[in-house]
Structure 1
Amino acid sequence: MTQLTTDGSTAESGGYAAARLHLLHRDTLTGPPRRAALARLTDQWLGGLLGHSRGVALVAVGGYGRGELSPRSDLDVLLLHDGSAGPGELGAVADRVWYPVWDMGLALDHSVRTPLEARKAAAGDLRVHLGLLDARHLAGDARLTSAVRATAYADWRAQAPARLPELRELGEERARVQGELRFLLEPDLKEARGGLRDATALRAVAASWLADAPRSGLARARAHLLDVRDALHLTTGRATDRLSLQEQDQVAAALGLPDADALLHGVYEAARTVSYAADITWREVGRILRARSGRPRLRRILGGRGGRGGFAEPERLPLAEGVVEQDGEAVLARTARPEHDPVLPLRAAAAAAQAGLPLAPHAVRRLADRAGPLPLPWPAEAREALVTLLGAGEAAVPVWEALEADGLVSRLLPEWETVRCRPQRNPVHRWTVDRHLVETAVRAGESARDVGRPDLLLLAALLHDMGKGRPGDHAVTGEALARDIATRLGLGPADVDTLAVLVRHHLLLVDTATRRDLDDPATVRTVTDAVPDTGTLELLHALTVADARATGPAAWSPWRASLVAELVRRAAAALGSGTQPRRPERPEPTDGQRRLAAEACRTGGPALTLRPRPEGPGAEGAAALGAELLLAVPRQPGVLPAVAGVLALHRLTVRAADLRALDVPGEAGALLLEWRVAAEYGSLPEAARLRADLVRALEGTLDVAARLAEREAAYGGRRRGRPAPPPRVTVAADGPADATVLEVRAQDAPGLLHRIGRALEDAGVWVRSAHVSTLGASVVDAFYVTDVAGGPLEGERAVAVARAVEGALGA
């Protein structure tokens, strides 16, 4: 028996078997070099089996065609012929190749076709066509192989508008059946979403010349998945793509990894890269196909310099400072300067999620390359943008993953590295630790109307499991991490303490309710000893529900929900109400504020000061677009809706506001309004222009409502953000004796405060004072109202006014 020689001459099957065994088990080659060497070795053997037959060619297709042969992979081969040989002669040639392969015990996927038959088969079967795109000549008549390859590529490019949607649907069907590779404890490396099939599909998209996948990290991710499959084949001795639990330790050892968790972490990282590339690629394919079908068409430029190819660029709609919508994506404005605006990554992410848009990959890459670190502690705008992003619901997930793809999340929160792609061995969990945290924030956002501090709820949802992957109890470790992170984010000491309690005790309610007797007073004390007040208990309850619902279907049930709710009810009763003041006491008006109020009464019109206010230490660039507006107006009806409407017309976002009445000696008194505002985009308005519009609004010559409606009609219908949870307006049970307190919790939106003020005016009540807080994308406002006589509203009327305001906001 002759042996395979170093110059590549053919040998008999025994020589191939020995050389194959040596390559797989004794040679030092691993990874791509070993797969390529195994393909070359197999090429030589199969070429020798074919011999010098005329009018035929042996062609490798699929993974073998790409030269990526794993130890137990099928040999995908096509025997091409020109039709000149008779059936008997052709059968003899085929048997000469097929039978030795079968005798070796290797899996063989084979077919015998003419070039025309191969073309017809590809037209009827997408998988056949994909295999031909990777066709590689092995032996015989090379002209046959070249003809088939050329035809396959020409047909693929010509038929791309029809075939690519079919290819995408195949991937979506695989995902429905196999799940998402990066979240599975026993993933299928090939068929699950983010696996090898998807990586191959991206190659096919690139071959269509219609679109291309992002290159960054994709080849490395694909190679890693192939390496894991190689190790799986060698350790099991089987042609399998399923990474079963009982085999993970052996596979990890074969790859030189410390344990099965490290193995899954690497697999999840690779799958994340493939999935993200697929998302971007298919989005681009959809955009191009829509454009080719005429929706939307680009406007032809008549004269002038114009854009590329004589067409204008797609319309760019502003979303936030430095961020615009273009062609269905959130992109950076031409004037954006990430190197001078460290808040821009979070502002862009928040704007994209709120609008329900993906964050364009080139924008993320530019932010990753150029944006500098945030000052410490974070400026208020950065913290609010993070909360806005987390509160955007399902739309936050792809935006967060876009930031993760280029390492921006870990730069913002270095602690994230420990939980990123970390597997959870408990089968109750359906997500990795990092994705579970984001999903918990999504669920927590659904409770934003039920709690007084939705910002703390969302931050606790993001941080509650940050201690996983570190030594010790993850809740105890997480508490320390939460304190460090919250301080870095710029939260005050009281908020830092609240966040730490939420993270430390995020399992307290469900564990206590399901394992202890609720009728035992000690059970309730377990909660009240850990939770200082009813406000924190309210947040902990919402976090418990969000955490369980984000874990998986088995983690929450009506039975558990009822037990936890009953425990919370009893703990709240034990804690009592009013353990914390509703609002901090106001300081006495300053001399400057009194002078402004006196000026307003003397002139009979508004008096104001507008002072730019950087939103944190070291804040610069767009953060300096914040401002403090101090306004005094003679006491009269309609002040709140007029002022709020004018601010909305000037595209000023209200971060916080305070309204109160001031007595002015010798006058009827004035309303003093203190506002913290920020320019939605662009520069701050001039104070003189603001005052002029306020005068017109108060006089009734400026129809604020009509102007806001006109702008909403022009822009609002083109924003595709998620449907906001319905607003909630309630009558506070523990309000003061001389006023009725209406609490408004709603999704922030341009003109929202104007609508609230209009509804209160229409209801015939007097706003004695107001406290307005914007917490990310949510507002939590309190309005102290009285009847015209200056007294609190009666019970039924108070409820009716609350329903009227709620109806006005929901319209």
Structure 2
Amino acid sequence: MTNLDTSDTTEEPGPDGYAAARLLLLQEKERPGPPRRAALARLTDDWLAGLFAAAAPPRGTALVAVGGYGRAELSPRSDLDLLLLHDGTADKAAVAALADRIWYPVWDLGLALDHSVRTPAEARATAGEDLKAHLGLLDARTVAGDAGLVAALRTTVLADWRNQAPRRLPELDGLCRERAERAGELQYLLEPDLKEARGGLRDAQVLRAVAASWLADAPREGLDTARRRLLDARDALHLATGRATDRLALQEQDAVAAGLGLLDADTLLREVYEAARTISYAADVTWREVHRVLKARSARPRLRTLLGRGGGAGKPPVERTPLAEGVVEMDGEAVLARSARPERDPVLPLRAAAAAAQSALPVSPHAVRRLAAAAGPLPVPWPAEAREELVTLLGAGEATVPVWEALEAEGIITRLLPDWERVRCRPQRNPVHTWTVDRHLVETAVRASSLTRRVGRPDLLLVAALLHDIGKGWPGDHSVVGETIARDLAARIGFDRTDTAIIATVVRHHLLLVETATRRDLDDPATVQSVATAVGTLGTLELLHALTEADALATGPAAWSSWRASLVADLVKRVAGVLAGEPLPDPEAAAPSAEQERLAIEALRTGEPVLALRTEPVVTEPEGPEPVGVELLIALPDRPGVLPAAAGVLALHRLTVRAADLRAVDLPGDLGPGSVLVLDWRVAAEYGSLPEAARLRADLVRALDGSLDIAARLAEREAAYPRRRGLAAPPPRVTVAAADSRLATVIEVRAQDAPGLLHRIGRALEGAAVRVRSAHVSTLGANAVDTLYVTRPDGSLLPAEEASDLARALEEALR
């Protein structure tokens, strides 16, 4: 494609020439980024200037670009923000006609236009009332007409901005906070808004406005690069979609990455997150400085009153409160003491960070930069003081996060923990996760800090929390890879061989408890014994228990609940018994509960299904009371088709199945011959209240006698189910789980969660003529993991080849 030098373009003022030149420019591959944005602005300037001149404008008029166009930063689908400025001497009709001669050609091309017609006084008054208008005018630039008129307006608007800064900057800060609440933090979102989210283009422009006030200035290092990266990503997004959008949707990310010459969508997100993190950190530092300056200014009149106006009393001394060796508090920040010598004190970065976090203070950016530049490397292994300061930092709770981010912004964390670079800004494409990998690790340590009273070694808990997902920066199973990395880092930090082995074990098995509790039969002795073997000691078990909770809470709302907590606690209690030498009960010898036996007798007497709903006790959570779940007992004479029928009825009534236990109850002979099947379900309503047991029973009877076509009803619901636009769901995967159970063969189904999934699984298993002993359902976001304990009809385990055939058939049925 031939380069187009738009600086020499002399296109006619008509839209066709401009449209052709614009298209040619946007198709160029050799000039992306700032050169293309500037060239597009020049091309647009030339066209609009031609329209302005052709309209024979009255004297005292000018066409002004404001906002992004005023900064000559036009993305392919950017709005044109234009102000037609006039001095008020021209005839109003002539000014209106001039506006029409400019606005209509822009509209005819389908370009978005934000336009206004004002005198300088009107523009100034509007800016005084509308903060966003004031910000736009700070970037005002003459496109055509009376440049002196525009220069005078710029001077006045800028002077107003500086004079009104003490009033307007707090208002602007409030707007930024509201926008962040609404749009979220760009550096953690899977589908971020490049402009409106916190750390996006809007915040970068706000920092320019704050600097223009002369009240405070943002840290400059990396800020221009970060802003340019976001603008480049928005350009590529506009070209990929053909729309004026700032939302980087999942389905567009591969095309945007390709447009930027990046390896893949993950690389794109990491670059976007890095840029957003730089802007967010700069914004935090800048707004902190703004409020410090404003607070100091408001205190001066009171100070003058206290000191008196005569005699030249001078400034009062600045208070410096000691926090730790070489660290003091000054003006609400942790700063380095005058006597601090970072070049001779390699522990000082960690000591300063720990002291700041423990005092809930931010670290001065000047102090962090000095530490990054001057502090020498820690010896390996670290001295005991360094290890203790790291543990203190991690144990400070929520105050850890901003301090950690300050150290990370200057590269100190990566210097201390080299493997951190692999997880820094790494996206997690599972929507259950709220944070990037690195922030999730810090959040897990924050959550773990509130659980340290539950464990004998809180230092091991906090460090294991920080490292538990460190393997996600490498290929393969992150738990296996993470074990090796955690072992190396623990030794580097200075833990002895025994403690290092414990940290490595906890990292290796940090998913063991929650996955076992939600996906395995806890009444099976092999389940509990396998966990006990992996854990090894009671001390490691209590660390794993606390880390499991902290990890889930730091993942997101969908990852933890009272129900999951109760299952994990039950498993921990059983494993602790094994580790203490207590024998496991024999599940085959376990008698049915009194309620199960009562329902079984009633079912045998009537020959029909009998149902009972029982709400579990309420557990009080920090967010309020939450029911652990509802137990649904169904007893009916043993017959084929029970599982798919029952699961289908529950799906029709919008009940989510959390676990299911199926057992045949052989009643005493005096009650009559026969075996009764008892289904013990744990269910929860998707929304609304629970259905009545009578309605469930009526539908179950109809499903069993064939008068209720569950498959058709569920298909109708699925057809009407709203689907999220985006990437297609991966296909289901069914495997034979490696579980040494002597009770049943364990089949694990991983699939996209959907209404009636367990019903379809049950139908496929009925067709394979196997018996389901129990089912355990775990759902995170859109992903379901259903674990089924199955046997032959006579109760024996499936041979290996038969089990593999069943898994393949089940997988095919679910496709």
TM-score normalized by the length of structure 1: 0.69
**2:142 is equivalent to residue 137 of structure 1:** yes
Equivalent runs, 1:577-726 vs 2, <5 Å: none
Residue number among 22, 25, 28 corresponding to 1:23 in the alignment = 25
Q: Does 1:105 align with 2:110?
A: yes
Asked if the contact 2:7/2:39 (under 8 Å) is kept, the reply is no
Give the alignment partner of residue 198 of structure 2, picking from 193, 201, 215. Answer: 193
Query: Amino acid of the residue matched to residue 293 of structure 2?
Result: I
**Cα distance in structure 1, aligned partners of 2:5 and 2:376:** 59
SS of equivalent to 1:281: helix
Letter in 1 for 2:402: P
* Structure-2 separation of matches of 1:526 and 1:195: 48
Match of 2:438 in 1: 434
Which residue of 83, 90, 97 maps to 2:88? 83
Kindly provide the amino acid, as one letter, of the partner of residue 550 in structure 2: A
Q: Contact conserved, 1:299 with 1:311, CA < 8 A, in 2? A: no
Partners of 1:301 and 1:312 within 8 A in 2: no
Q: Is 1:347 the counterpart of 2:351 in the alignment?
A: yes
Is the counterpart of residue 513 in structure 1 residue 535 in structure 2? Answer: no
Residues in 2 aligned to 1:120 and 1:162: alpha-carbon distance in whole angstroms? 16
- Amino acid aligned to 1:80: L
Matches within 5 A, 1:341-490: 341-490=345-494
Aligned ranges 1:146-545 → 2 under 5 Å: 146-294=151-299, 310-545=314-549
Unaligned runs of 5+ in 2: 583-815
How far apart are the structure 2 equivalents of 1:131 and 1:554?
41
Per-residue Cα deviation, 1:73-129 (whole angstroms, up to 9, x for no partner): 000010001112223211110011111111111111000000011011111110000
Tell me the equivalent position of 1:50.
52
- Which residue type is aligned with residue 546 of structure 1? A
Q: In structure 2, what is the Cα distance between the partners aligned to 1:562 and 1:75? A: 58
Change in 2 beyond 3 A, CA 1:65/1:475? same
Counterpart position of 1:558: 562
Partner of 1:95: 100
Q: Displacement, 1:41? A: 0.9
Q: State the one-letter code of the partner of 1:378.
A: W
Contact 1:4 1:19 in 2 (8 A): no
Whether contact under 8 Å (1:221, 1:273) holds in the other structure is: yes
CA distance in 2, matches of 1:560, 1:329: 41
Name the CA distance, whole Å, in 1 between partners of 2:224 and 2:358. 33
How much has 1:408 moved relative to structure 2? 0.4
Cα distance between partner residues in 2 of 1:348 and 1:299: 34
d(CA) in 1 for partners of 2:565, 2:502: 23
- Does the 8 A contact of 1:73 with 1:107 survive in 2? yes
Q: Is the 8 A contact 1:475 1:505 kept in 2?
A: yes
Contact 1:290 1:296 in 2 (8 A): no
| Change in 2 beyond 3 A, CA 1:392/1:577 | farther
Higher-RCO chain (CA-CA 8 Å, sequence separation at least 6): 1
Q: 1:31-42, aligned counterparts within 5 Å? A: 31-42=33-44
**1:20 Cα deviation (Å)?**
1.1
Distance 1:299 1:505 in 2: 63
Q: Please state whether the residue corresponding to 2:81 is helix, strand or coil.
A: strand
Alignment TM-score, normalising by the size of structure 2: 0.69
SS at match of 2:473: coil
Q: Which amino acid aligns with 2:347?
A: V
Report what 1:627 is aligned to.
Answer: none
Provide the secondary structure at the position in 1 that maps to 2:401.
Answer: helix
1:189 and 1:241 in contact (8 A); partners too: yes
Deviation readout 1:18-48 (Å, 9 max, x if unpaired): 2111111025111111111111111111111
- The DSSP-based 3-state class of the residue aligned with 1:394 is helix
Cα gap change, 1:493 to 1:81, in 2 (>3 Å): same
In the aligned structure 2, how far is the partner of 1:381 from the partner of 1:5?
A: 62
Alpha-carbon offset, residue 526 of structure 1:
1.8
Provide the C-alpha distance between the structure 2 equivalents of 1:314 and 1:374, rounded to a whole number of angstroms: 33
1:762-800, Cα deviation, whole Å (9 max, x unpaired): xxxxxxxxxxxxxxxxxxxxxxxxxxxxxxxxxxxxxxx
Q: 2:70: which partner in 1?
A: 65
TM superposition shift of 1:555: 0.2
Structure 1 contact 300–310 (Cα < 8 Å) conserved = no
Structure 2 contact 444–550 (Cα < 8 Å) conserved = yes
Amino acid at match of 2:47: W
Task: Sort the Cα spacing of 1:150 and 1:409 in 2 relative to 1 into closer, same or farther, 3 A.
Answer: same
Shift of 1:144: 1.6
Contact kept, 8 Å, 1:301 with 1:311, in 2: the verdict is no
| SS of alignment partner, residue 139 of structure 1 | strand
Distance change >3 Å, CA 564–CA 487, structure 1 → 2? same
1:568 aligns with 2:576: no
How many percent of aligned residue pairs carry the same amino acid? 73
What's the offset of the Cα at 1:7?
A: 3.5
Kept after mapping to 2: 8 A contact 1:233/1:240: yes
Distance 1:385 1:155 in 2: 48
Equivalent residues of 2:51, 2:102 under 8 A apart: yes
Secondary structure of 1:205 counterpart:
helix
SS at 2:328 equivalent? strand
* 1:191–1:197 CA contact under 8 A, matched in 2: yes
SS in 2 for 1:529: helix
* Preserved contact between residue 300 and residue 311 of structure 1 (Cα < 8 Å): no
Q: For residue 111 of structure 1, give the secondary structure of its aligned residue in structure 2.
A: strand
| Structure-2 separation of matches of 1:471 and 1:396 | 29
Contact 1:298 1:311 in 2 (8 A): no
Q: How far off its partner does 1:55 sit?
A: 1.6
* Backbone CA RMSD of aligned residues: 2.1
Q: 1:14 corresponds to which residue?
A: 16
How far 1:313 sits from its partner (Å)?
A: 4.6
Partner Cα separation in structure 2 for residue 488 and residue 85 of structure 1:
77
Distance in 2 between residues matched to 1:102 and 1:520, nearest whole Å: 71
Matched-pair contact (CA < 8 Å) for 1:248–1:260: yes
- Separation (CA, whole Å) in 1 of partners of 2:29 and 2:107: 25
* One-letter amino acid of the structure 2 residue matched with residue 239 of structure 1: A
Distance 1:287-1:296 versus aligned 2 partners, 3 A rule: farther
- Name the structure 2 match of 1:718: none
Change in Cα spacing, 1:161 to 1:536, as seen in structure 2 (3 Å) is same
One-letter code aligned to 1:532: G
Q: How many residues align?
A: 573
Say whether the 8 Å CA contact 1:249–1:259 is kept in structure 2. yes
1:465 to partner: Cα distance = 0.2
Equivalent position of 2:702 in the other structure: none
Q: Residue type of the partner of 2:333?
A: E
**Contiguous gaps of at least 5 residues in structure 1:** 579-811
CA change 1:113–1:277 in 2 (3 A) is same
Code of the aligned partner of 2:361 = L
